[in-house]
Structure 1
């Protein structure tokens, strides 16, 4: 494949996946201009990471749910409940910070198992089960907190979402450690991409032209190092960013290189075909929701750490932000299509838009209108692609 053919392939055949990255670059550039560069200032980039990390974590689980042909409307309430349980143990009963974290994860897993049972083994649609869960777990949050907020958490707990790793390698006005970690990440990605390319060539599969492949790696390296440079000039490497990066790498591997991941895509793409192929649909659906509950527990711990307390109304509308991130990132409304990386880019688009509009002083009502229109256009684009693909056949 020549470079010209590769570019044409990116902008036509793979418009669904490549278009989101182009849109992200355009949106970042637009808001950078509209905010006079404040959007890309070191301190603001750090704030974006801290403020939207829990939405991105929820989006990782949500995209797997959506790929499987389901939806989860309860994650915001689960974030509130897990944070509340953690607060009761750490703030009210004086337990160590890690006990609160473990409790949040366990509660998340139990919630996921509860909902997975009703969806997978009883056969109630996920929409109904999680709608009931949204009400049930919000009510339990009020009961756990006795209708009051609890704060503050000890400083050790706050570091989960607000701590930084810096100064290990020194630096004059910037943190060298952050740059070293970013360079290692770029090198690791380049090595993985090269191995994948060589593997495809061995099996005589088509790959992009070598110049285009190198150009893509260079572009990714420039973006990552520029991002790290800004973080290094602020407060260093956020702990929550390390947690998020580990989750992204782990779940990208799970969805693309494991039997479970292939079964999730199979169920969402064609349920009858998956059943006839021997996929254990009930078990896969059960574990999809257990996983979503676990990640909601992670997000609940991080959000409570970030907000330095637990509130009965915490996590309100988080489920809609997570769902929007997945659909903007290329997931299909009918299941079977989507990627973790796409959901992350979709979440970052929402984060950049929200942060940019806040910096511009745009009213909250207008921000909601803009987000709604962006989500609507993303789904319309999905439907347009399906109709075009159907016509092509």
Structure 2
């Protein structure tokens, strides 16, 4: 890894490399991103369309300085599902629009007052474990996708999972030159071939799908009840967004919270969510899978991300191509996710190491301990129909505790003042 050339954010990528790198990014996010529309009972085509459009919009707003792919947000599943069951999908769309609009207002507030507060409420001793939790709490979903948590484990799933993960792990270590930057894509192909040989890929939906098809657009309807139910998700997605930007900053070696700025990335994310609600798609968010791809490959070019976005838009109009990608089985997605989520977890530990957090100081040891235990304990706090758990609850707890420590420090009451 150490001798591998880094392709930086603004670097141009030749076409022969751009295409496979873009496909690699699209494959990484595809499985998780299309799961949300399936759970909402809508066609994935409109979601693929908006993921691509939202990503291009995000790149434009952040001036091409923040490499990030926008996929379907899981944070809206619980409240969105409640509104869909009670009132219909159109009213859930209205809630998505309002959340996105309020997020844009929050971005403007951060633009006016800056983001120096992040250093106070999320110092490295808290930020490190929060970022690590982004990957660690997703590890069970990777195992679930692979079918490894089923009561009866299918040996075929184990074989496909092992092939995918094995190629990804050893490819990342052994591949050289061109192959060294596409280990994830090669692992997906190897896992897919293994799945075909094991007989767990069904091509019938591909044969039945039309060659070309327009995404199904839908207008939102607004209800105060639906808006109040969904609006608290803003707290969740903002916490996730800050965590994703911090870990991406660490991977690319730049402070993205300052340049292009948290206000720009937050605006891009929430504006995309608002537009998604207006046309019938699901809310968008920066994706951990794609952050993991960058960590593995050391390819950070926004041109590659933009290429993946364009491919996603194309897939939304080509029915057979979209359906073909949807035949990638869970064990393949799970095998890839195992490595990618682990990379995010390791990035959190890297924050602690690079920041040289002094655990001889009581506050640092306390902060890291409380954040980790809160995130991994399974504790859940319910606010109306919103449930705070895992990384989000840990982040809020860490922020509150850090703020209290800061106040006590200013009052000269702490016993380990610098």
| TM-score scaled by length of structure 2 | 0.30
Q: Counting helix residues as a fraction of each chain, which structure ranks higher?
A: 1
| TM-score scaled by length of structure 1 | 0.31
